[in-house]
């Protein structure tokens, strides 16, 4: 029995791979994939789908997946992006084969293959301007026209291309194109440019090169050099596949990779254009690429999403060839499921209201042991301090209670989570009429017991005002108010930015046991939602980011 016999296909890509394996079309019998991001921005949730597919596919078939940076456009690339992308892949739980690779590793070989194309009469140096090239290219209903420079001799093309490499021309003076068919219905086959002059410093090769290969030219050949068997990309590259195959067929490459396309991830209430995400960063609508409102992997990580939740989400949405829009609620559901099972519980009061327990002695303190997780005894117990001075949520008290009110009100009793039942006896207000303090009494007989003769009006969370930790709580919501902020091309997508996407609460308090909580630690704040410790925290101030509410309240808030 082969190692693939027990592997069941889970999507059409895997069905193709299993067919290729069965037909012995996989060179060397080993599946090789690659993840080839351009380092011109941070990765977003759409890239996570591609990462999971490429690395997951390689793992499923005991193959390997390479991480290769498509660094053919140095003006928009940086080492910052390279480092961030590599960290994102690692954080998601994947390991690439060998060292990080770069398309620039193959610049010399790509140059030699360009010479090969020229020598075989399949490439020429074109001196048309960019504007003239567009005019000569035609359109979807009209064929293009051959450039007047298309029939330059091999010798002249070789000389001109060498002069391009030596920096003797300025940007835009000329470019290297391949001869295919200017009347081809597929516009990508109308003598595409494969080298342009770019006098820019490169983050890997420095100033060695002033000509850079196009993505379409470099990508397939880099795949071939790495022995990639299945080049998996999104559907927008489907029309580029004939060009991918043309290069493979017309160059002496060491392998014959095949390209396959799948539908990209489109998520509502967000955008996944790196150009537009960079605009949000540059114009300071957000505080950086890792702002927790951003759909970047680093932003999701900072917000409190876990690697498992993102991997599970990508598995939930599946791999198809049909474009569609995935609801943000599905991503939020994935992280809720993961954190519900794995996040320890704690109590945090975000908008404190002072409660004085009049019949509890001044200076006295009592400790309660509560489960760290109600469904997982292995997490153990946590200790919570109870005293005379407590804090509850402002919204858990109403002086004039509405119908079916299940929290605290004058004369009513509630149970403090894990502690005693208290009754509100007096309401204290400031000169402006604002409620600043509640005078309550506790029932000492209700420690672990139901009260006799009356019924508490619900259960609320609380902290000890004297033995709790001050913290800042950042309440994040969706970045846009419209499900598709790019739908109307006549309206700037920034017009749909959600002004309520961030609320910062600076006077919050969390139970004492979280005093030394570390960055990226996850908690369920009881009754409030799931939260993560932000990197802005220090020894003097804890900062918590709300990852997601306990339930999907967005549709209700929007009145939908």
Distance from C-alpha of 110 to C-alpha of 393, rounded to nearest angstrom: 65
Alpha-carbon torsion, ordered 242, 243, 245, 250, to 10 deg: 130
DSSP string over 518-538:
-TT-EEEETTTEEEEE-TT-B
Residue 305 is assigned to a structural domain of this protein: yes
DSSP string over 52-104:
HHHHHHHHHTT-EEEEEE----GGG--HHHHHHHHHHHHHTT---SSS-EEGG
Find where tokens 């609380």 sit.
462
* Per-residue model confidence as pLDDT tens digits over 204-219: 999 999 999 999 999 9
Backbone torsions φ then ψ of 401, nearest 5 degrees: -70, 140
Does the structure show a pLDDT above 50 at 557?
no
Give me the mean pLDDT over the 70-80 stretch.
97
Residue 398 is assigned to a structural domain of this protein: yes
70 and 92 part of one domain: yes
Spell out the residues 6+ positions from residue 409 whose beta carbon is closer than 8 angstroms to its own.
397, 398, 399, 400, 401, 424, 457
Query: Are residues 62 and 56 in contact, defined by beta-carbon separation less than 8 angstroms?
Result: no
Distance from C-alpha of 520 to C-alpha of 402, rounded to nearest angstrom: 39
Output DSSP code: residue 21.
H
Higher pLDDT, 24 or 9: 24
Find where tokens 């109870």 sit.
386
* Per-residue model confidence as pLDDT tens digits over 453-491: 999 999 999 999 999 999 999 999 999 999 999 999 999
* Per-residue model confidence as pLDDT tens digits over 29-49: 899 999 999 999 999 999 999
Does the structure show a pLDDT above 60 at 75?
yes
264 given a catalytic annotation: yes
Q: 45-60 and 307-317 are packed helices; what angle lies between their axes, rounded to 10 degrees?
A: 80
38 given a catalytic annotation: yes
272 and 250 part of one domain: no
Does the structure show a pLDDT above 60 at 553?
no
375 given a catalytic annotation: no
Distance from C-alpha of 502 to C-alpha of 324, rounded to nearest angstrom: 28
Does the structure show a pLDDT above 90 at 493?
yes
Q: Which of 150, 199, 264, 401 is catalytic?
A: 264
What sign does the CA torsion over 262, 47, 314, 64 have? positive
Residue 489 is assigned to a structural domain of this protein: no
* Per-residue model confidence as pLDDT tens digits over 287-314: 999 999 999 999 999 999 999 999 999 9
- Give me the pLDDT at residue 554, please: 47
220 and 302 part of one domain: no
125 and 232 part of one domain: yes
Spell out the residues 6+ positions from residue 206 whose beta carbon is closer than 8 angstroms to its own.
none
Residue 523 is assigned to a structural domain of this protein: no
Residue 385 is assigned to a structural domain of this protein: yes
Please say which residue of 402, 429, 461 terminates a domain.
461
Does the structure show a pLDDT above 80 at 523?
yes
Judged by DSSP in three states, 438 sits in strand
The length of the chain is: 560
Query: Are residues 68 and 180 in contact, defined by beta-carbon separation less than 8 angstroms?
Result: no
The CATH number of the domain holding residue 382 is 2.40.240.10
How far apart, in Å, are the Cα atoms of 14 and each of 1, 59, 314, 510? 19, 12, 15, 48
Query: Are residues 124 and 149 in contact, defined by beta-carbon separation less than 8 angstroms?
Result: yes
Measured from the Cβ of residue 274, the count of other Cβ atoms closer than 10 Å reads 21
Distance from C-alpha of 447 to C-alpha of 464, rounded to nearest angstrom: 16
% of the chain at pLDDT higher than 70: 97
Query: Are residues 332 and 552 in contact, defined by beta-carbon separation less than 8 angstroms?
Result: yes
- Give me the pLDDT at residue 1, please: 36
What sign does the CA torsion over 393, 551, 404, 360 have? negative
404 and 256 part of one domain: no
Q: Which of 101, 165, 258, 274 is catalytic?
A: 274
- Give me the pLDDT at residue 539, please: 87
Query: What are the helix (H) ranges across 181-239?
Result: 215-225
- Give me the pLDDT at residue 5, please: 45
Does the structure show a pLDDT above 80 at 9?
no
Distance from C-alpha of 523 to C-alpha of 533, rounded to nearest angstrom: 9
271 and 254 part of one domain: no
Query: Are residues 546 and 533 in contact, defined by beta-carbon separation less than 8 angstroms?
Result: no
Nearest to 196 by CA among 74, 48, 345, 25: 74
Tokens of 288: 């950086």
How far apart, in Å, are the Cα atoms of 476 and each of 293, 374, 412, 546? 7, 26, 33, 6
258 and 278 part of one domain: no
Does the structure show a pLDDT above 80 at 324?
yes
* Per-residue model confidence as pLDDT tens digits over 348-404: 999 999 999 999 999 999 999 999 999 999 999 999 999 999 999 999 999 999 999
Please say which residue of 321, 342, 363 terminates a domain.
342
244 and 303 part of one domain: no
Strand partners, 415: 421, 459
For the chain, what is the domain count? 3
Distance from C-alpha of 92 to C-alpha of 48, rounded to nearest angstrom: 8
287 and 241 part of one domain: no
How far apart, in Å, are the Cα atoms of 315 and each of 7, 36, 66, 320, 332? 16, 21, 21, 12, 14
**How large is the C-alpha radius of gyration of the chain?**
31
Distance from C-alpha of 558 to C-alpha of 160, rounded to nearest angstrom: 62
Give me the mean pLDDT over the 112-137 stretch.
97
* Per-residue model confidence as pLDDT tens digits over 220-271: 999 999 999 999 999 999 999 999 999 999 999 999 999 999 999 999 999 9
Which residues in 178-204 are b (16+ Cβ under 10 Å) and which e? Answer: bbbebebeeebbbbbbbbbbeebebbb
298 and 410 part of one domain: no
Please say which residue of 342, 376, 391 terminates a domain.
342
* Per-residue model confidence as pLDDT tens digits over 188-198: 999 999 999 99
Distance from C-alpha of 278 to C-alpha of 469, rounded to nearest angstrom: 36
* Per-residue model confidence as pLDDT tens digits over 131-179: 999 999 999 999 999 999 999 999 999 999 999 999 999 999 999 999 9
Confidence of residue 8 (pLDDT cuts 50, 70, 90): low
How far apart, in Å, are the Cα atoms of 331 and each of 96, 284, 334? 25, 26, 5
The CATH number of the domain holding residue 82 is 3.40.50.620
- Give me the pLDDT at residue 419, please: 97
Q: 317 is in which domain, residue-wise?
A: 266-342
Residue 522 is assigned to a structural domain of this protein: no
DSSP string over 302-356:
HHT--HHHHHHHHHHH---SS--EE-HHHHHHHHHHHHHHHPPEE-EESSEEEEE
Residue 540 is assigned to a structural domain of this protein: no
Higher pLDDT, 28 or 59: 59
Query: Are residues 312 and 338 in contact, defined by beta-carbon separation less than 8 angstroms?
Result: yes
93 and 199 part of one domain: yes
Give me the mean pLDDT over the 318-339 stretch.
95
Query: Are residues 523 and 304 in contact, defined by beta-carbon separation less than 8 angstroms?
Result: no
* Per-residue model confidence as pLDDT tens digits over 407-435: 999 999 999 999 999 999 999 999 999 99
Give me the mean pLDDT over the 93-115 stretch.
98
57 and 156 part of one domain: yes
Spell out the residues 6+ positions from residue 479 whose beta carbon is closer than 8 angstroms to its own.
269, 270, 286, 293, 294, 295, 497, 498, 501
Residue 479 is assigned to a structural domain of this protein: no
């Amino acid at each position: 029995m082969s190692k693939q016999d027990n592997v069941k296909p889970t999507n059409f890509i895997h069905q193709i791979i299993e067919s290729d394996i069965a037909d012995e079309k996989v060179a060397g019998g080993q599946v090789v994939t690659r993840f080839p991001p351009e380092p011109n921005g941070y990765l977003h949730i759409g890239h996570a789908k591609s990462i999971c597919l490429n690395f997951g596919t390689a793992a499923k078939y005991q193959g390997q997946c390479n991480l290769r940076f498509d660094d053919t456009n140095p003006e928009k690339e940086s080492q910052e992006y390279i480092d961030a992308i590599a960290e994102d892949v690692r954080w998601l739980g994947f390991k690439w084969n060998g060292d990080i690779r770069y398309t620039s590793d193959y610049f010399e070989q790509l140059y030699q293959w360009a010479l090969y194309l020229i020598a075989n009469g399949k490439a020429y140096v074109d001196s048309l301007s960019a504007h003239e090239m567009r005019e000569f290219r035609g359109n979807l209903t009209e064929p293009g026209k051959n450039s007047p420079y298309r029939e330059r001799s091999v010798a002249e093309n070789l000389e001109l291309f060498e002069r391009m490499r030596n920096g003797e021309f300025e940007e835009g003076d000329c470019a290297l194109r391949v001869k295919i068919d200017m009347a081809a219905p597929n516009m990508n086959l109308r003598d595409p440019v494969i080298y342009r002059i770019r006098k820019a410093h490169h983050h890997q090769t420095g100033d060695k090169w002033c000509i850079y290969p196009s993505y379409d030219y470099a990508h397939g050949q880099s795949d071939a050099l790495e022995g990639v068997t299945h080049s998996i990309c999104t559907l927008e590259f489907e029309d580029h596949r004939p060009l991918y195959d043309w290069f493979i067929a017309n160059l002496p490459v060491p392998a014959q990779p095949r390209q396959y396309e799948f539908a990209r991830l489109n998520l509502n209430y967000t955008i996944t254009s790196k150009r537009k995400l960079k605009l949000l960063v540059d114009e300071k609508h957000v505080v950086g690429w890792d702002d927790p409102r951003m759909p970047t992997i680093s932003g999701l990580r900072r917000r409190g999403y876990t690697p498992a939740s993102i991997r599970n989400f990508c598995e939930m949405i599946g791999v198809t060839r049909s474009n569609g829009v995935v609801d943000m609620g599905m991503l939020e559901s994935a992280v809720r499921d993961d954190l519900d099972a794995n996040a320890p519980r704690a109590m945090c009061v975000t908008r404190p209201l002072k409660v004085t327990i009049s019949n509890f002695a001044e200076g006295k303190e009592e400790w309660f042991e509560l489960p760290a997780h109600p469904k997982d005894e292995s997490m153990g117990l946590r200790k919570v301090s109870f005293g005379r001075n407590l804090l509850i949520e402002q919204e858990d008290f109403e002086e004039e209670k509405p119908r079916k009110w299940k929290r605290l009100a004058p004369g009513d009793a509630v149970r403090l989570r894990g502690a005693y039942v208290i009754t509100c006896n007096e309401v204290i207000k400031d000169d402006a009429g604002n409620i600043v303090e509640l005078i309550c009494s506790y029932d000492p007989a209700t420690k672990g017991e139901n009260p006799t003769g009356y019924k508490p009006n619900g259960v609320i969370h609380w902290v000890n005002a004297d033995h709790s930790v001050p913290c800042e709580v950042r309440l994040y919501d969706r970045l846009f108010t419209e499900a598709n902020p790019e739908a109307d091309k006549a309206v700037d997508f920034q017009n749909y930015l959600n002004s309520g996407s961030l609320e910062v609460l600076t006077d919050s308090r969390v139970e004492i046991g979280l005093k030394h909580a570390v960055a990226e630690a996850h908690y369920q704040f009881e009754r409030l939602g799931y939260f993560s410790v932000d990197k802005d925290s220090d020894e003097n101030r804890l900062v918590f980011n709300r990852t997601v509410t306990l339930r999907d309240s967005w549709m209700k808030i929007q009145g939908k």
